[in-house]
Copies of this chain bind each other. A is one copy, B any other.
Amino acid sequence: MKKVGVAILGLGVVGGGTYQILTEKKEFFKKTQGLDVTVENVLELNVERALSLGVDKSIIASSIEEVVSNPNVDIVVEVIGGVGVAKTFVTKALKSGKTVVTSNKELFAKHWPELEAEAKKKNAGLFFEATCVGGVPIIRALQESMQANDIQSIKGIINGTTNYILTKMAYEGSSYEEALKEAQRLGYAEFNPTADVEGFDATYKLSILASLAFNTKITIDNVHREGITGVDTDDIAYGRQMGYTLKLLAIGKKGEEGIEVRVHPTFIKNDNPLASVNDSFNAVHLVGDSVGEIMLYGRGAGALPTGSAIVSDVLFAAKHDEYFYAPFKNNEKGAAATKYAPDFSSQYYVRLAVKDAAGVLAKFTSVFGKNNVSMKEVKQIAAEDGVAQVIIVTHKTHETVMKKTLEKVSALKEVEAVKACIRIEE
């Protein structure tokens, strides 16, 4: 039976889950995979933590050098996170010809080309299923199942923290702050929630997914990013009445003008399959020219779901000798050649607070008209203390046109404020 030696760098939540699966299922993998997998090393500064997980002292390495020089280690699992030591360690492992399996989306989104170049030099494998959407096998699907497709779009709810918060706001009417606190209490959000709530995490993942989907290198600085900190519970409620559900959607689309990549709060129709993806669940929907519509749904985070993805990479790497490298120029030149369409067009939901007086409607609708923003629906929601809430749903409009129009609208003396501007996705 083929023997496979694994080292785990970092025994945090995901590292712990990975260690647990690999050790508890040793016999299961012999039986079902014909592979004898052994954790040969762990690298974890917190020795107490390692021992509490049942790690034998003899396999706790004291340095990355010890790990990469261990001839019994074939595969190095990096679950440290961040781009500091993680990058140094992964590079050292690849330079030693070890195959690397990582869950580190930030590292991968920022440094994939360099890491891949190192991997190729030694014909080492570089696996990253766990970087995106936890246990949902979207990376393997893009690499090994969707190859017959020219993919037109990939859309996903790929951050569990924000989806939990938005679900809470939608179904319980909580404010953003209340929902965030609850998410922190449950461990779904970190003490410093910025990476999640400002959309950085989703941006990292989208850059990886869109690169694979469109066979071209998508860099994170080309992803239009907006988080959910400005979302008002009222708009979620108004939207629902109009048949829309609010999600932090990651959107990649290939059009004639180029590629759109964006992460922002988005209204989708209530009957869109993504609309019923609630709580901390994730899902990715894609459209390919052969397969049509397809959606993958599951847990986007957590020790065991993400561990499941890592272990699937370990077993895949152990079984197949041909490694996957990006099917496109994964370097600066390739990245520079990608054609983007930053001035995308979209439908918009706009909420204005306006003076509750005759003639106001005509004033701002004429500004929309002059700027060629065609309105699909105008609706007055409520009036209080002389201020009316008006919701406008537009037809498809370019982003730059919409911005300019709203600047002009907000300059009107009859308009107290532009309360919300949320894109609507089919």
Taking a contact as CB atoms under 8 Å apart, the answer to whether A292 and B304 are in contact is yes
Name the contact of A312 in the complex, choosing from B145, B271, B302, B320 (C-beta under 8 A): B145
Taking a contact as CB atoms under 8 Å apart, the answer to whether A293 and B288 are in contact is no
A290 to B306, CA, bound (A): 8
Chain A count of residues within 8 A CB distance of the other chain: 55
A281 to B271, CA, bound (A): 14
- Determine the residue in chain B with the shortest Cβ distance to A141: B137
Smallest Cβ distance from A426 to chain B, in angstroms?
A: 17
Smallest Cβ distance from A86 to chain B, in angstroms?
A: 22
Smallest Cβ distance from A142 to chain B, in angstroms?
A: 10
Taking a contact as CB atoms under 8 Å apart, the answer to whether A294 and B136 are in contact is yes
Which residues of chain B are near A305, meaning CB under 8 Å? 290-292
Smallest Cβ distance from A185 to chain B, in angstroms?
A: 21
Per-position contact with B for A162-191: 1 when CB-CB < 8 Å, else 0?
Answer: 000000000000000000000000000000
A377 sits at the interface (CB 8 A): no
A135 to B145, CA, bound (A): 9
A406 sits at the interface (CB 8 A): no
A50 to B75, CA, bound (A): 48
A246 sits at the interface (CB 8 A): no
A203 sits at the interface (CB 8 A): no
Which residues of chain B are near A308, meaning CB under 8 Å? 146, 148-149, 288, 290-291
A168 to B293, CA, bound (A): 21
Number of copies of this protein chain within its complex = 2
A305 to B294, CA, bound (A): 10
Q: A141-B141, A144-B140 are in contact. Are A28 and B290 (CB under 8 A)?
A: no
Binding stretch for chain B, among A29-37, A96-104, A252-260: A29-37
Taking a contact as CB atoms under 8 Å apart, the answer to whether B292 and A299 are in contact is yes
Taking a contact as CB atoms under 8 Å apart, the answer to whether A312 and B137 are in contact is no
Which residues of chain B are near A48, meaning CB under 8 Å? none
Which residues of chain B are near A28, meaning CB under 8 Å? 150
Taking a contact as CB atoms under 8 Å apart, the answer to whether A215 and B147 are in contact is no
Taking a contact as CB atoms under 8 Å apart, the answer to whether B273 and A297 are in contact is yes
Which residues of chain B are near A291, meaning CB under 8 Å? 135, 298-299, 304-305, 308-309
Smallest Cβ distance from A325 to chain B, in angstroms?
A: 9
Smallest Cβ distance from A47 to chain B, in angstroms?
A: 26
Name the contact of A311 in the complex, choosing from B135, B148, B215 (C-beta under 8 A): B148
Which residues of chain B are near A140, meaning CB under 8 Å? 140-141, 144-145
Name the contact of A327 in the complex, choosing from B17, B33, B276 (C-beta under 8 A): B33
Taking a contact as CB atoms under 8 Å apart, the answer to whether B32 and A290 are in contact is no
A305 to B31, CA, bound (A): 33
Taking a contact as CB atoms under 8 Å apart, the answer to whether A295 and B293 are in contact is no
A-B contact pairs, 6 of them (CB 8 A): A32-B327, A135-B292, A137-B141, A147-B311, A294-B296, A319-B322
A33-B327, A144-B144, A148-B315 known; 18 new pairs, CB 8 Å cut-off, are A29-B147, A32-B215, A33-B147, A34-B327, A135-B290, A135-B294, A137-B146, A140-B144, A141-B145, A144-B312, A146-B312, A147-B315, A147-B316, A148-B311, A148-B312, A295-B298, A296-B296, A320-B322
